[in-house]
Amino acid sequence: MDFFDVSEKVVVITGASGALGGEYAQMLLKANAKVVCLDISVSENISYLEKKYPNSFIFCSTDITSKESITDSLKKTIESFGYPNVLINNAALDSPPSAPPEDTGSFENYPESSWDKVLSVNLKGIFLTCQVYGSEMARHSQGSIINVSSIYGSVSPDQSLYQYLRDEGNEFYKPISYSASKSGIYNLTRYLATYWAKQGVRVNTLTLAGVLDDQDQRFLDAYCKRIPIGRMANLDEYNGAILFLSSSASSYMTGSNLVIDGGWTAI
């Protein structure tokens, strides 16, 4: 079990105000890691973690599309806990069925501004956090970077899942920007894995499927029928992969893509 020891490691998580990011933070804090949350806003789970773990958790208000903002968060991280050991690039913009119609219409009419916004957060944000935090890790000859991707970065979205919306007159399609940004993560990971290999920095992709989160039952029925395991993931079912990639249990793993998707991409 020592292989999975993350006690006293300094772990930085982007987008930790969200459900998955908050779940990762809580799991790592229970494992005695020091956790730094980077996000633009404070959520209830952040306030909860600040109160429960006052000596091992901090929140840094950070815009991951701004290198200056990320650099400021690195300074605060070092001042509070020391040099970072793990970076989890979890923050991302998505377009669920509840998203504004201008962001989820046909490809032919998809706004350029929406493309720019999603690519800026989902891909440029990882590029910048890796520049700032990864460079610091390389200087200290150690570190693990986990870039979180999606099944829709390796296969095309199954647009039939949203047919019930189109049947109601809502022109909903999973937009191109999400898939393009998540696909870009794969080669960004491979590039950095080989670039920093001699400096002791490991870089891997974690590819995930959907998480159960009070979705419309019609969507759930279509999704669960499509996925081999027959259900969406529970919120805590990616914790094991995060712990594995954060610890020495994955010490010989870099440039890889760990897929946990209930069998979606096996079809």
What lies within 8 Å, CB to CB, of 252 at 6+ separation is: none
Q: For the chain (length 267 residues), average pLDDT per consecutive 10?
A: 92 96 98 97 93 98 98 98 98 88 91 96 98 98 98 96 94 95 98 98 98 95 97 98 98 98 97
Q: What pLDDT shows up at residue 100?
A: 85
Q: What pLDDT shows up at residue 1?
A: 64
Q: How far is CA 203 from each of CA 19, 70, 95, 147, 191, rounded to the nearest angstrom?
A: 23, 19, 27, 8, 9
Query: At 42, which amino acid appears?
Result: V
Distance CA 133, CA 73 (A): 10
Which residue has 């219409």 as its token pair? 105
Query: At 202, which amino acid appears?
Result: R
Domains (ranges, CATH) in the chain?
A: 2-266 (3.40.50.720)
Nearest Cα to Cα of residue 238 among 28, 3, 75, 72: 28
Tell me, what DSSP letter sits at residue 123? I
Q: Which two structure tokens, joined as six digits, stand for 142?
A: 């150690």
